[in-house]
Structure 1
Amino acid sequence: MKLLKTTFLSSLAFCLAFGTYAQKKDDKKPEETKPATTAPAAPAKPAEAPKTGPKPYKEVITSKAISSNGLMTVHKIDEKFFFEVSDTLIGRDIMTVTRYSKTAAGGGIFGGEEVNRQVVRWEKGPENKLFLRSITFIIASPDSTKPIFQSVKNSSADPIIGVFDIKALRKDTSSVIEVTDFFKGDNQVFSLDPINKQFLKIAGLQPDRSFIQHIRTYPINTEIRTTKTFSVVPPSVSLVPMPQIGQYLPASRDAGVVTMEFNTSMIILPKTPMRKRYFDPRVGYFANQYANFGEESQKSDNEIFAVRWKLEPKSQADAERQKRGELIEPKKPIIYYIDPATPQKWQKYLKAGVDDWQVAFEKAGWKNAIRGEYMNPKDSMSLEDARYSVIRYFAADIQNAYGPNVHDPRSGEILESHIGWYHNVMRLLRNWYLIQTAASDPRSRMKNFDDELMGQLIRFVSSHEVGHTIGLRHNMGASSATPVEKLRDKDWVAKNGHTSSIMDYARFNYVAQPEDGITDFFPRIGDYDIWAIQWAYKYFADAQSAKEEKAILNDLTKEAVKDPRKRFGTEISPSDPRYQTEDLSDNAMKASDYGIKNLQRILPNLLEWSKENGETYKELAELYANVSAQYRRYIGHVTKNIGGIYDTPKTYDMEGNVFEVVPKAMQKDAVSFLNRQVFETPTWLLDKNVLNKINPEQGVEAVKAIQETSLNSLFAGDRMVRLMETGSASNANYNLDELMTDLRSSIWSELKTKKTIDIYRRNLQKVFIEKVTSLLNPGMTTVSFIPQGASYGFESRSVDLKKTDLPSIARAHLESLKNEIKAALPLTIDKMSKYHLQDVLQRIENALNPNK
């Protein structure tokens, strides 16, 4: 650098000297240089930095703005959208619910279905920013003035999902932000989550084909409708078939992109949450929970509370009238609107399904608390508007309906519900009703039901789904409160129905026989439902807290559950045979015998009841499959009694045990049923007049599959553990050795009778050998039970079956069976029977002595 500087100065001196020499050589007199008379120029001011922070309100929200007031004031200027967020909303909890408005066809997703929901909260940030946080309720502390509140806060930071520059302030009471890019973008809370994207093979958002349709705002909610276009995961070519997650939408394959419409509702949650009603496992309600850390507590309390609508009197005077036993109307009733896209002839039945619940709410002290209403297509109401609950009708081939609800996670208060009703649920109803009642109800002996019968079926399902949306879970134990013979008593059924709850999966009275003269086969709002609504919706005007309400409810519940018809049976019980889907009565063996009798009457008539000239036998095949499925259900109902344990929720102030072993006599009856109705070949299923029209096979493999499934269930690891534990605890209990003995004596009865062993029995006996030999070297199994006081979920433990009595018992029975086969072989005349016995004898030898 020094050298460069020296060179530069030398060059400059040379140039100056050369200039002077040239001037002299010109012989011209140089001009005089006058001294400067002006002051030197002032130094330039530095450029002014652009002004940051909010601008004046009118510079942002100009006269071009189209504005509407509501939860958040919304402004639209050209194609940009602005929110005006009042300071009163800062820190308030807002529930967001995003639903499909329109979907691409063929993906099993439908307009109106929920995509996701989340609680969010506006928050002032630094540097003139407004944050939007996503709030998760896992832990809480009830008193913000206590030190432990800060500890909880330190362990529950919530993610920031949006950052917005405050463009302007209005009277220092609200902040104006632009939300255009945020809502038309792919923010997970307001779009598809990664799991849904994987299942639909969807990739990144295409911004140039995504936009906001409109944003509308109302007093308690703001509705954002968007169109979003996504690219798709590129298909891959593989010579080796590989398992893949999800499937492509047809539009994805055709166009390489997929476009959907979404509606997001942002609804303000109450400033003061509704008083909780603490969950009780003796009454079946959906529940929310979080860990509560109290200043004085010695451990965190898992606070579990029921999900329910908020019903309250309009005034204190009404509350006093209700206390005196008068019915009063609630301040805000529960209203369900019928989707105007529903076929006209079914709308009244869907509405009737809602109205049927009025009788239950009246018992809780409320008049006109719940009703269905028709929605006029010309009204300005939106089906996605979070202020309205709707029964949405989906043009879908799915045979189902569902009843969700959106609730405040802080208190369990239900805010709204969108019941999903798929068109093809009518097909499911047709199949159920025909297969379960056609022996006794002539109306169901046809391919297509008349509108009145189908309408009543729709009404029943509507009532069931509405039950879910008012908080009720499935009560799978309700049907077990009905003595089996009462299901054949015409007068009793007319008065009480065949189950005590419409929330059971009791479907229709399949026990009734043709000679009983019963005409009422439908579930209805029953004794349990009426009691459960009282439990959740009765208003206790004098109770000052949720704890006081809990004490009052405990006394009412203890009294109520003395009546078996008011008891709840969880839908998730792993071992209680009273709590099952699709079953009836207090005795599965007798009920299933009656059910099979009816199936035997129905099966030969399916050809006549399904026929239509010019059509193939597809309809017959569908109905036959439903007969087979119903028969399998009966087998499952019976099997759960074996190794079963009753689980009856109780509190300290109730008598009796929570867990009780199913009586030995009932377990033996269950095994006897299986031996008689399953392991003795069910030849009635093999109706050649039907099978020859729908299947090239003759039913051999189908029978084997049913029998093998039954044996697999009987020898399931958790059932084996229960039989060993309860059986060894008392001789009064059924045990694993007895089960093996009872099965072996039936499945291998030909060894004593010397009868020919036909192909069905040969297959069954081979399956039995394979199953029992596998028990010589069993693996691990998991045994589960529901923890005390829990709303959902299991506690589980792993058991190494090799370290139990199971292999010893299996070996002993294989040894005994080997000796019986050896004794029977010399006396066996039938060639195939002899081949069979020689084969299974060798299989047993190989299993018992693998190294020989």
Structure 2
Amino acid sequence: MVKKKLTLIITCLLFCFAQGTFAQSKKKKRSDKNAPAKVETKAPESKDGKKEPKPYKKVIDSTAVTQKGLIDIHKINDKYLFEIPNSLLGSEIMTITRYSKTPAGGGIFGGEEINRQVVRWEKGLNNNILLRSVTYVIMSPDEDKPMAQAVKNSTSDPIIGNYDILAFKKDSTGKNNAGYVIDLTSTFDGDIQTFSLDPIKKQLLNIVAFQKDKSFISKISSYPINTEIRTVKTFTTTPPRISITPTPQIGVNIPSALDAGVITVEMNTSMILLPKTPMRKREFDARVGYFANEYGVFEEESQKSDTKTFAVRWRLEPKSPEDAQKQKKGELIEPLKPIVYYIDPATPEKWKKFIKQGIDDWQIAFEAAGWKNAIRGEYWPENDPTMSLEDARFSVLRYFAAEIQNAYGPNVHDPRSGEILESHIGWYHNIMSLLRNWYLIQTAAVDPAARTKKFDDKLMGELIRFVSSHEVGHTLGLRHNMGASSATPVEKLRDKAYQDKNGHTSSIMDYARFNYVAQPEDGVTALFPRIGDYDKWAIKWGYSYFDDAKTETEEKVKLNEMTKEAYKNNRLWFGTESSPYDPRYQTEDIGDNAMRASEYGIKNLKRILPNLLEWTKENGESYAELDELYGALTGQFRRYMGHVTKNVGGIYDSPKTYDMTGNQFEVVPRAIQKDAVLFLNTQLFNTPKWLLDQNVLSKINPESGVEAIKGMQDATLSSLLAGDRIVRLIETSSMSKNNYTADELVSDLKNGIFSELKGSGSIDVFRRNIQKLYVDKMIELLKPGTTMVRSVPVGVTYGFTTRRVNLAQTDLPSIARGQLNSLKNEMKSASSRMTDRMSKYHLQDLISRIGQALDPK
């Protein structure tokens, strides 16, 4: 009975629910009579379970707003339907996602790249389209050979999207294969990693979760070779942890995240079709500084896998075979497609012309490669609705309203060939502050225009022009050439005629900044880097067109002969930005001898320091500007110490090939290494009291500078005695008795740092500090532990190999013990002669420390 009643109740409830549902359905049908038609995003299924697309006109009806382009986009209500042409299936598309608008105060800026990936559309098995992410790791050139299948079996590309075909577009013969209509709305208004933030960026921004209801597509535009998707995405965030000593971190203190618990960013994704026929690759050469791409290659006839490494560069080709012949005869010709950089309209008006000049300055380098009008800067056209700053067809120098003191020059290139497709250079407003500090500290001794808190527009404009050229160089494929300035003899840096003709470095891609060696009496006025001899040669190597070279191999032979000839002139050499041991390859240095160049630089710093107060003063302002410039000056001094230090344990690394004479690696001569240690003993360990200008320090610091000087000495002494440097000294001294040794280094340091032991005079607080540092470090070396030794292997584009060395199993502890015993005896003798009480206490203390270390109880 209970069971029957329960059944009856359920039946009544179901009937009422059905009636209610039917009534609501009828009501809704009447009220939605004038509403837009619903867009079906899932294809209906037939009786046998297969998905069946609808007729094209049933899906893309009269309400659709259509844009034609690489991919035709149909907007119906709030849905975006993509019509993928059959010709695009299997083609590779580069996707680049950038910030368009960002929350203030988060350390991220509109125009910066977020994500880059190659994708490919392909037809599925059941009326669907798949979107795959493509990663180039290994490839096979022999597509019709068994090896190609083996490579395919090892390179499955992940599926990041699966879409029902809503409709077919018929071709001219009536077949359903002209195009496929799919709905990508949820892909772009969602949080698909390929078109959004990756997990690392989310961690940096303290992002917790994606907010679907606060995210949407704001605009999609389609052009002949690219489609642009602008989206707005909102994420919840977690507040930063409370910390007494917070560490600066991108995104932690975004004001909108602290206020609202969420952040909203606007993003632009460019989908740009990669060339159907990849550009011919130009094989990477370590003797010329180009960025490179690489992948593993498996060939049918090879006996091992190989790595194909090739330079990253733009595609420059003649307009016609006739032009190619003219160029071959030495006539300059215009390329089929020149390289054009647009200047962000947000750039302050007075700086635009200088940025454009920095771009145009590269024309002289392309002329060396046989091209005229190959590169130019353009102002962004006003009121042109067909152009967008995020459009991947246009390379743009973007101007960011940010406190960051920097600029950067990336490029987007085809991973199959290295062909650069476009570039968005980033320019932060506060780089002008950095330029002011560099130029004042390095050149104010010789250039009166630098002796002021605010530079005039002409000087600042020329500084901007220099940085513009440097960053454009990166977007042309050029890496930093940190060795370029080492080709200039130091005394030539003081030669006005030489500087007017050649400048102080052979490459604007060097971090040589400005000529800090020139003295006031020299009359040198050419203080800026410029497009130099190396830059012209590097562009010639990367952009010469070889009409008669039919293959990459034939082209490589021609380039090799050019490079061997260029190597006869060391102004054309490339010096890597990543060598841990070659003293010629350093940032911020100039000249072929760091000791002489730094000595001249210090002379100029001594001239500049007493004037900083006068050059920065402004009534009603604090001494913050003075503090900043004093920090820049001491930073410049520390750089000089670093430039000199790298000579100790140094090894010259000059890339060579089998058909060149000489060795690639050579030990820095013993005399140069001893000069380096002598310089450091004289300029740093013998207290640089000139830095302690109390007229300056008393206005910016409550301390007198004792600890600041000790900090500089500690950093340099630690670097000199670092495990990897000691290992190189032990290695190189085993090759020849003429090479500098680790024991010599320690002895030379001791003799300089403890020079007072030969007399009976007092030892001041600065010298007591450096002597304590030396003894403590020697004691540490009795039990030195292990160290990582880095090296740049031959034939590798970037990066290091590392090996761990147990220093306890080297001569280092023996050297430390012997030196400490010798020093202890010298201090005992000197202590008996000392009349100054603090000096005597000091030596007795060190004698005790050494005794306990050598014979611990």
TM-score for the superposition, normalised by structure 2? 0.93
Shift of 1:376: 2.4
SS across alignment from 1:108: coil
CA distance in structure 1 between the aligned counterparts of 2:142 and 2:245, rounded to whole angstroms: 61
CA distance in structure 2 between the aligned counterparts of 1:473 and 1:754, rounded to whole angstroms: 55
SS across alignment from 2:847: helix
Corresponding residue number in structure 2 for 1:36: none
Corresponding residue number in structure 1 for 2:173: none
Shift of 1:837: 0.7
Pick one of 403, 413, 417 that aligns with 1:411: 417
Pick one of 204, 211, 221 that aligns with 1:206: 211
Corresponding residue number in structure 2 for 1:110: 109
State whether structure 2 residue 387 is matched by structure 1 residue 388: no
CA distance in structure 1 between the aligned counterparts of 2:132 and 2:720, rounded to whole angstroms: 51
Distance 1:628 1:330, change over 3 A: same
Write the deviation string for residues 665-716 of structure 1: whole angstroms up to 9, x where unpaired: 1001000000000000001000010001100000000000000001000001
Corresponding residue number in structure 2 for 1:225: 230
Distance 1:845 1:259, change over 3 A: same
SS across alignment from 2:832: helix
- Which sections of structure 1, spanning at least 5 residues, go unmatched? 5-46
CA distance in structure 2 between the aligned counterparts of 1:849 and 1:156, rounded to whole angstroms: 62
Corresponding residue number in structure 2 for 1:377: 382
State whether structure 2 residue 714 is matched by structure 1 residue 714: no
Shift of 1:248: 3.9
Distance 1:391 1:564, change over 3 A: same
Over 2 Å off, 4+ runs: 47-52, 233-246
Corresponding residue number in structure 1 for 2:22: none
Corresponding residue number in structure 1 for 2:56: 57
CA contact (8 A) 2:788 2:803 kept: yes
CA contact (8 A) 2:204 2:249 kept: no
- Counterparts of 1:228-247 in structure 2, within 5 Å, are 228-233=233-238, 247=252
SS across alignment from 2:813: helix
Pick one of 216, 228, 231 that aligns with 2:221: 216
Distance 1:666 1:239, change over 3 A: closer
CA contact (8 A) 2:107 2:251 kept: no
CA distance in structure 2 between the aligned counterparts of 1:781 and 1:849, rounded to whole angstroms: 25
State whether structure 2 residue 173 is matched by structure 1 residue 174: no
Corresponding residue number in structure 2 for 1:68: 67
Pick one of 679, 686, 703 that aligns with 2:709: 703
Distance 1:627 1:48, change over 3 A: closer
Corresponding residue number in structure 1 for 2:758: 752
- Counterparts of 1:358-757 in structure 2, within 5 Å, are 358-380=363-385, 381-757=387-763
CA distance in structure 1 between the aligned counterparts of 2:47 and 2:798, rounded to whole angstroms: 64
- Counterparts of 1:188-203 in structure 2, within 5 Å, are 188-203=193-208
SS across alignment from 1:208: helix
CA distance in structure 2 between the aligned counterparts of 1:588 and 1:241, rounded to whole angstroms: 38
Shift of 1:793: 1.0
Distance 1:830 1:142, change over 3 A: same
CA distance in structure 1 between the aligned counterparts of 2:802 and 2:49, rounded to whole angstroms: 64
Distance 1:114 1:243, change over 3 A: closer
CA distance in structure 2 between the aligned counterparts of 1:208 and 1:795, rounded to whole angstroms: 49
SS across alignment from 2:734: helix
Corresponding residue number in structure 1 for 2:324: 319
RMSD (CA atoms): 1.5
Corresponding residue number in structure 1 for 2:40: none
State whether structure 2 residue 275 is matched by structure 1 residue 276: no
CA contact (8 A) 2:79 2:183 kept: yes
CA distance in structure 2 between the aligned counterparts of 1:832 and 1:109, rounded to whole angstroms: 54
Shift of 1:140: 0.3
Distance 1:50 1:748, change over 3 A: closer
Write the deviation string for residues 640-670 of structure 1: whole angstroms up to 9, x where unpaired: 0000000000000000000000001100100
Corresponding residue number in structure 1 for 2:100: 101
CA distance in structure 2 between the aligned counterparts of 1:462 and 1:114, rounded to whole angstroms: 19
Pick one of 345, 348, 356 that aligns with 2:353: 348
Percent same amino acid at aligned positions? 67
Shift of 1:412: 0.1
Pick one of 745, 748, 767 that aligns with 2:773: 767
CA distance in structure 2 between the aligned counterparts of 1:423 and 1:578, rounded to whole angstroms: 32
Shift of 1:731: 1.0
State whether structure 2 residue 842 is matched by structure 1 residue 843: no
Corresponding residue number in structure 2 for 1:184: 189
Corresponding residue number in structure 2 for 1:828: 834
CA contact (8 A) 1:404 1:468 kept: yes
Corresponding residue number in structure 2 for 1:152: 151
Distance 1:50 1:732, change over 3 A: closer
CA contact (8 A) 1:103 1:109 kept: yes
Write the deviation string for residues 58-97 of structure 1: whole angstroms up to 9, x where unpaired: 1111110001111001000011100000111000000000
CA contact (8 A) 2:344 2:397 kept: yes
CA contact (8 A) 2:51 2:127 kept: no
CA contact (8 A) 2:360 2:376 kept: yes
CA distance in structure 1 between the aligned counterparts of 2:155 and 2:430, rounded to whole angstroms: 45
Distance 1:757 1:347, change over 3 A: same
Corresponding residue number in structure 1 for 2:25: none
Distance 1:482 1:90, change over 3 A: same
CA contact (8 A) 2:239 2:252 kept: no
CA contact (8 A) 1:201 1:248 kept: no
SS across alignment from 1:653: coil
Corresponding residue number in structure 2 for 1:121: 120
CA distance in structure 1 between the aligned counterparts of 2:521 and 2:194, rounded to whole angstroms: 59
CA distance in structure 2 between the aligned counterparts of 1:241 and 1:175, rounded to whole angstroms: 53
Shift of 1:243: 11
SS across alignment from 1:827: coil
Distance 1:580 1:58, change over 3 A: same
SS across alignment from 1:226: strand
Corresponding residue number in structure 2 for 1:798: 804
Write the deviation string for residues 543-580 of structure 1: whole angstroms up to 9, x where unpaired: 00111100000000000011010000000000000000
Shift of 1:246: 6.1
Distance 1:695 1:586, change over 3 A: same
Write the deviation string for residues 713-756 of structure 1: whole angstroms up to 9, x where unpaired: 00011000011111122111000111111110110111112220
TM-score for the superposition, normalised by structure 1? 0.93
- 2:325 partner letter: E
CA contact (8 A) 2:759 2:830 kept: no
CA contact (8 A) 1:404 1:419 kept: yes
- 2:503 partner letter: G
CA distance in structure 2 between the aligned counterparts of 1:100 and 1:574, rounded to whole angstroms: 35
CA distance in structure 2 between the aligned counterparts of 1:139 and 1:728, rounded to whole angstroms: 42
State whether structure 2 residue 348 is matched by structure 1 residue 338: no
CA contact (8 A) 2:289 2:480 kept: yes
Corresponding residue number in structure 2 for 1:35: none
Write the deviation string for residues 173-199 of structure 1: whole angstroms up to 9, x where unpaired: 210001111110000010000000000
Shift of 1:789: 1.3
Corresponding residue number in structure 1 for 2:86: 87
Corresponding residue number in structure 1 for 2:257: 252
SS across alignment from 1:729: coil
Shift of 1:377: 3.2
Write the deviation string for residues 265-322 of structure 1: whole angstroms up to 9, x where unpaired: 0000011100000000000000000000000000111100000000000111111111
